Amino acid sequence: QSPPTAPTMSPEYLAWNIGPKLLAIDCTLFGLAMVIVILRFYVRIFILKIFGMDDWMMAISALLSMTCIALFVKVIKLGLGRHAEVVKIENVFPILKYLYFYGIFVIFAYSFIKLSIGFFLLRLADRTKWRRFLQGTLVFLVLFTLGSTFAIIFQCDPVQAGWDLTMRPPTGTAQCFSMDVFKNVGVFNSVINIATDLIFALIPIPIVWKLQVNVRTKIGLAATMGLGLFASATAIYKTAIQYNFFKEPDWSGKGSWYYIWQQIEMNVGIISACLPTLKPLFSSFFEHVLTVT
């Protein structure tokens, strides 16, 4: 009896590639986020003539987002978006290595976005009971980011086994977190991210309501800053995908949607964090229009 042969893959299966679709989504959101960031900096530098700690945090977030999209473009070119069986064997470890560092940059990007929001809220919460709570949340964010980063970097001993699977058993002797542990750590990190998203989305409402401004301005500020709830929604959806991602054998094909949702969460977070700072730009624009007309 002849040995069983591997199932043949159809031409459609071999040609299947969602890489261009992922790039289109990512580049569109990234471009929009960077436009909003530039407008924010224009307002802060040329209209308000002040560049605070929250703006520096956002500048770092933008640089991290640029780094993430550069790495994402690289792994798409290497085969992410195609079925795992179709990815060239010589590209597998380079993809895993780029994704390893990509994961670290994503964690820092998330955190710097929230630090930017936190420092922005600290200015609004001056001399209020929320100030110490915000300071404590920012300290927690820094410690949580460092812990999450160490968990990714040192997921294996030696570190290189994080992307070089030949160093893991049965071909190697490296010791790594089990898939269950890695999945649980990842989901735990996502839950903490969702919680901090919700905190920064909801805290502005009581803070803004105590500002000495008219009701219409209060509602506008609270609603704009509440856009963080949309960032929370994307994080919740991404966490659901993340839970199943670790069980997905087609990691580079069907599993690639997880990475795009990381990008969506990041860029939606940047947009949500920057929109409240653009009010002076729109006020200046409408004043100019009224003057001209």
Residue 266: what pLDDT? 94
Quick check: 30 and 271 in contact, CB under 8 A?
no
Residue 293: what pLDDT? 43
User: How confident is residue 220, by pLDDT bands cut at 50, 70 and 90?
Assistant: low
Q: Give the pLDDT confidence of 38-91 residue by residue, as tens digits.
A: 999 999 999 999 999 999 999 999 999 999 999 999 999 999 999 999 999 999
What percent of the chain is modeled with pLDDT above 70? 86
User: Is 4 contained in some domain?
Assistant: no
Residue 5: is its pLDDT beyond 60?
A: no
User: Is 292 contained in some domain?
Assistant: no
Q: Which residue has the higher pLDDT, 4 or 189?
A: 189
Distances (CA, A) of 129 to 126, 196, 209, 222: 9, 18, 13, 18
Residue 233: what pLDDT? 86
Q: Which residue has the higher pLDDT, 289 or 252?
A: 252
Residue 216: what pLDDT? 66
Report how far residue 41's alpha carbon sits from residue 251's, in angstroms, rounded to the nearest whole number.
Answer: 38
User: Is 5 contained in some domain?
Assistant: no
Q: Give the pLDDT confidence of 114-146 residue by residue, as tens digits.
A: 999 999 989 878 766 788 999 999 999 999 999
Residue 287: is its pLDDT beyond 60?
A: no
Quick check: 161 and 176 in contact, CB under 8 A?
yes
The type of residue at 174 is: A
Residue 200: what pLDDT? 86
Mean pLDDT estimate for the chain: 87
User: Is 271 contained in some domain?
Assistant: yes
Residue 148: is its pLDDT beyond 50?
A: yes
Task: Tell me how many domains the chain contains.
Answer: 1
User: Is 8 contained in some domain?
Assistant: no
- Which residue's entry shows tokens 């002797």? 173
The CATH number that applies at residue 26 is 1.20.1070
Q: Give the residue numbers spanning the domain of 223.
A: 17-279
Q: How many degrees, rounded to 5, is the angle at CA 36 between CA 32 and CA 39? A: 140
Residue 97: what pLDDT? 96
Question: Where on the phi/psi map is residue 172: left (φ > 0), alpha (ψ -120 to 50), or beta?
Answer: beta
User: Is 6 contained in some domain?
Assistant: no
Q: How many degrees, rounded to 5, is the angle at CA 111 between CA 107 and CA 112? A: 120
Please, which residues have CB within 8 angstroms of residue 221's CB and are 6 or more apart in sequence? 204, 208, 211, 213, 276, 279
User: Is 146 contained in some domain?
Assistant: yes
Residue 218: what pLDDT? 63
Q: Give the pLDDT confidence of 164-218 residue by residue, as tens digits.
A: 999 999 999 999 998 888 888 888 888 898 899 888 888 877 777 766 666 666 6
Q: Which residue has the higher pLDDT, 178 or 31?
A: 31
User: Is 289 contained in some domain?
Assistant: no
Tokens encoding 178: 């089990």
Mean per-residue pLDDT, 250-255: 93
Residue 2: is its pLDDT beyond 50?
A: no
Residue 242: is its pLDDT beyond 90?
A: no
Residue 82 CB neighbour total at 10 angstroms: 23
Residue 197: what pLDDT? 87
Residue 292: is its pLDDT beyond 90?
A: no
